[in-house]
Amino acid sequence: MEKIIDSEITLKQISRDFAHDLFILVQKNKNGNLCYWCPDLKKTYASLETTFTHINDANSKFEADKTPDFVIFYKGIIAGLISLSPINSGNLTSEIGYWLGSEYEGLGIISRSFPFVLDYAKDVLQLKAIELSTSIPNIRSQKLPINFKFQKVRTIPNAEILEDGKVDHILWRREF
C-alpha cells in the first residue's frame, strides 16, 4: 500500500526493502532526540537482524487485522514511521505511533500524514476511536493530539523509563 500525501511526502507500507535505510536512520539518531523520546527504538533497530524481525512482525500484524506500519518518505528519502497498533477488539480502537529522524522534525511531516492515518482507521478499519500515548515532558509530541482534537483520557503514572528517569504518560483518545 502506498499513499502520496503531497509533493514532498509519501507513505509506503513497511517492507524488507526498507530495512537497511530504517536501521541507518535510527543508528544516526541513537544519541539524539529520537532515541531520547523513543528509547525502545534502540532495541528494535539494534541490528539489521532485529530490524528484519520488526518488519516481519509488522507484516504479520497487517495480515492479522490490516493495521499498517507506514514508512514515511520525505522528498524520496526515509524520514520516519507512522503506524497503528493491533486492534483492541473489545472496544474497537487502535493506538497511533510516530517518529522521525531529528533532521526531519518541525517540517509538518507528521501533521500532514496524520489525516490519512486517521481516515484509514475510521473508514477502512471502521474503528470507533483512536488512542495515543505521549510522555508528559514531550511537549512537541503532545501538539499532535491537541491539534487533532483528541481528548485527554487519563494520566498513566511511570509509563516509561527515559534516560533521565521515569515519566508519566497522557493517554489521548479521539472518537469517530
Ligand X SMILES: CC(C)(COP(=O)(O)OP(=O)(O)OC[C@H]1O[C@@H](n2cnc3c(N)ncnc32)[C@H](O)[C@@H]1OP(=O)(O)O)[C@@H](O)C(=O)NCCC(=O)NCCS
User: Is residue 171 a contact residue for ligand X (CB under 6 A)?
Assistant: no
Q: List the strands of the sheet with 165-175, edge to edge.
A: 2-4, 9-13, 69-74, 77-84, 93-100, 129-135, 165-175, 151-162
What is the closest distance, in whole angstroms, from the C-beta atom of residue 8 to ligand X in the complex? Answer: 12
What is the closest distance, in whole angstroms, from the C-beta atom of residue 59 to ligand X in the complex? Answer: 22
In the region spanning residues 127 to 156, those forming contacts with ligand X, defined by CB under 6 A, are 134, 138, 140-141, 143-144, 147
User: Is residue 38 a contact residue for ligand X (CB under 6 A)?
Assistant: yes
Residue carrying the nine cell digits 526515509: 78
- Three cell numbers written together for 90: 473489545
Cα–Cα distances (Å) from 45 to 21, 26, 50, 55, 63, in that order, read: 11, 7, 6, 10, 22
CA–CA distance, 95 with 98 (Å, rounded to integer): 10
User: Is residue 33 a contact residue for ligand X (CB under 6 A)?
Assistant: yes
CA–CA distance, 168 with 159 (Å, rounded to integer): 5
User: Is residue 70 a contact residue for ligand X (CB under 6 A)?
Assistant: no
Kindly tell me which of 127 and 132 has the beta carbon lying closer to ligand X. Answer: 132
In the region spanning residues 97 to 126, those forming contacts with ligand X, defined by CB under 6 A, are 98-100, 105-111
CA–CA distance, 26 with 4 (Å, rounded to integer): 24
Stretch that binds ligand X, among 8-16, 33-41, 116-124, 159-167 (CB under 6 A): 33-41
What is the closest distance, in whole angstroms, from the C-beta atom of residue 110 to ligand X in the complex? Answer: 4
Amino acid letter, 117: V
Site residues for ligand X per CB under 6 A: 33-34, 37-38, 80, 98-100, 105-111, 134, 138, 140-141, 143-144, 147
